[in-house]
Amino acid sequence: MTTVSDFPAAAGPEADGVDAAVAAARSAQPGWDALGFAGRRKVLLAWCTLILRRSDELISLIRAETGKTADDARLEVVLVAHHLRWTATHAARVLGRRRVSPGLLMFNHSVEVTHRPLGVVGVIGPWNYPAFIPVGPVSAALAAGNTVVLKPSEQTPKTGEWLAATLAEVTGAPRVLHVVQGDGAAGAALCRAAVDKVSFTGSSATGRRVMAACAENLTPVVIEGGGKDAMVVAADADLDAAADAAVWAAMTNAGQTCVGLERVYVVGAVADRFLDLVAERAAGLRVGDGADADLGRIVLPKQLDVIAAHVRDALARGARAVVGGPHSITPPYAAPVVLADVPEDSAAVTEETFGPVLVVNRVTTVDEAVARANAGGYGLGAAVFSRDRDGGRSIAARLRAGMVSVNAVIAFAGMPAVPFGGVGDSGFGRVHGPEGLREFTRTQAITSQRFRPLMHPTSFRRGPGTMPTLVRMVRTLYGR
Ligand code: NAD
């Protein structure tokens, strides 16, 4: 296992390149900030238009770098535009100056709260959604008036470069989005550079290293880590819809989705029927690089070993392979695997598989389903299926997850106003929505005295009766 010291703070080509990018971003920041919300909105919307006009290019790049199916890449570009547009349009409302009540005691003041940019934000991205994931924090940081240095995954350098180049076409010089390329060493150098915040998306193990490196300069971080999302299927669920959703959420992008579904807890009375429906759908999926493929390749060769190990371990412990099995892994592909009755301490239940493997375990009650879903360290997304929507929402509220979809899967990712992020091993901080915008700002409150008060408790020139009168007043107001 690599540790923090694998990427020590040594000077080197990574650090030099990163420092130069941060310096360039720093010098571009005041001018970008001075554009104000309206000016930045115009630029970001023009970027969105350009991305859509050249979406075929972006789709090809994403496919070339990740082996995604055409539909998976198309969906990614749709999400990029949807989120970018929301962020550009709503930044002024969310972050603009707002008046706050001074309260009774200080009624002679007026107060305004503003959200100022932090300066330069470092964004470290993963390869699984190489455009959609970075665009979340990049667009929020930019809309708030920061400039950005992006380190894309070493698996998807060209997609990162394309994003920065298209934005530069709109902004001209100086660039407000800089890209540094490289592996973990470049990422570590960015964490140690003179940035004002780091937004990291990747595995939880790397997230710990990122946080340790950022701690050296007390640089704040957002950690969007891994997940082990679960679905709860209640006895009254629409089983057809639940099975369809489960298979898509588990197999889309060949299972390489942070909020991909890896576990289902289904109530015993409907478990057999649900499993039949899941098996029927999963077995019919096509794998490969053909135009009609539903699942593309597994990007990291070492992930194929993890997927195979999880499947073998589960079977060795007594799980049943309902669809596929160890033979489903034929590098660089992994075909759908559905496992049933998997012991809860197997790696396929406790660790992120990040491949097209779905565990379906039966439970006696919804309470048991909730307890099992909440048992692991991760807490990213989750789903609930129940025909009783209120009941579904109350099950959702008991799940330890950042986002839960009721009678749908991963719905939150298609809603730009919805904050996205996890708890526990899945990390902390939020991207998307108002919370995602505020993440890249510092809050400043300015109070302004409008007139001198009759009593002046915060002065040594106050009279002897001032404080007793104040206490009497507060008792009258709040003490009953
Ligand atoms: P990863 O952790 O291997 O790499 C992520 C990024 O971190 C890459 O750019 C990498 O170069 C960089 N990096 C590696 N070591 C570093 C270090 N020491 N310091 C700084 N940066 C470093 O993850 P990955 O394989 O690219 O992505 C898959 C993982 O990401 C999965 O665990 C998945 O669940 C997670 N993910 C999470 C979200 C989310 O929003 N929570 C979204 C997508 C992916």
201 CB near ligand 1 (under 6 Å): yes
Q: Give the pLDDT band (50/70/90) at residue 172.
A: confident
224 CB near ligand 1 (under 6 Å): yes
Residue 6 has pLDDT above 80, yes or no: no
Over residues 443-456, the mean pLDDT reads 94
Q: Which residues contact 351 (CB under 8 A, 6 or more apart)?
A: 228, 310
The preferred substitution site among 201, 353, 428 for testing ligand 1, maximizing ligand atoms within 8 Å of CB, is 201
CB-CB neighbours of 233 under 10 Å: 29
For the annotated catalytic residues, the residue numbers are 224, 258
Over residues 78-92, the mean pLDDT reads 98
Atom of ligand 1 nearest to the CA of 127: 26
Query: 358-396 pLDDT, tens per residue?
Result: 999 999 999 999 999 999 999 999 999 999 999 999 999
Over residues 156-169, the mean pLDDT reads 97
206 CB near ligand 1 (under 6 Å): yes
Query: 296-321 pLDDT, tens per residue?
Result: 999 999 999 999 999 999 999 999 99
Residue 133 has pLDDT above 80, yes or no: yes
124 CB near ligand 1 (under 6 Å): yes
Q: Do domains 13-225+430-441 and 229-417 have the same CATH topology?
A: no
Residue 1 has pLDDT above 60, yes or no: no
Residue 174 has pLDDT above 90, yes or no: no
pTM: 0.94
The preferred substitution site among 124, 304, 431 for testing ligand 1, maximizing ligand atoms within 8 Å of CB, is 124
122 CB near ligand 1 (under 6 Å): no
Does domain 13-225+430-441 match CATH 3.40.640.10?
no
Over residues 30-45, the mean pLDDT reads 98
What CA dihedral angle connects 233, 234, 238 and 241, to 10 degrees? -10
Q: Give the pLDDT band (50/70/90) at residue 173.
A: confident
Q: Kindly report the CA angle at 54 between 48 and 60, in degrees rounded to 5?
A: 120
- Buried (b) or exposed (e) across 24-50, using 16+ Cβ within 10 A? bbbebbeebbeeebeebbebbebbbee
The preferred substitution site among 206, 210, 221 for testing ligand 1, maximizing ligand atoms within 8 Å of CB, is 206
The ranges assigned to domains in the chain are 13-225+430-441, 229-417, 450-478
Ligand 1 centroid vs 73 CA: distance in angstroms? 19
Hey, whose CA ends up nearest to atom 26 of ligand 1?
A: 126
Q: Which residues contact 39 (CB under 8 A, 6 or more apart)?
A: none
Does domain 229-417 match CATH 3.30.300.210?
no
Atom of ligand 1 nearest to the CA of 126: 26
Residue 12 has pLDDT above 70, yes or no: no
pLDDT recorded at residue 271: 98
222 CB near ligand 1 (under 6 Å): no
pLDDT recorded at residue 480: 83
Q: Give the pLDDT band (50/70/90) at residue 454.
A: confident
Q: Give the pLDDT band (50/70/90) at residue 4.
A: very low
Hey, whose CA ends up nearest to atom 5 of ligand 1?
A: 202
Ligand 1 centroid vs 199 CA: distance in angstroms? 11
Ligand 1 centroid vs 38 CA: distance in angstroms? 33
Query: How far apart are the C-alpha atoms of 157 and 168, rounded to whole Å?
Result: 17
Ligand 1 centroid vs 462 CA: distance in angstroms? 59
Q: How far is CA 418 from the centre of its chain?
A: 11
Over residues 92-114, the mean pLDDT reads 96
The preferred substitution site among 128, 149, 303 for testing ligand 1, maximizing ligand atoms within 8 Å of CB, is 128
pLDDT recorded at residue 14: 62
196 CB near ligand 1 (under 6 Å): no
Contact 414, 433 (CB under 8 A): no
Contact 225, 203 (CB under 8 A): yes
Atom of ligand 1 nearest to the CA of 227: 34
Residue 13 has pLDDT above 90, yes or no: no
Residue 53 has pLDDT above 60, yes or no: yes
Residue 336 has φ and ψ, to the nearest 5°, of -55, 135
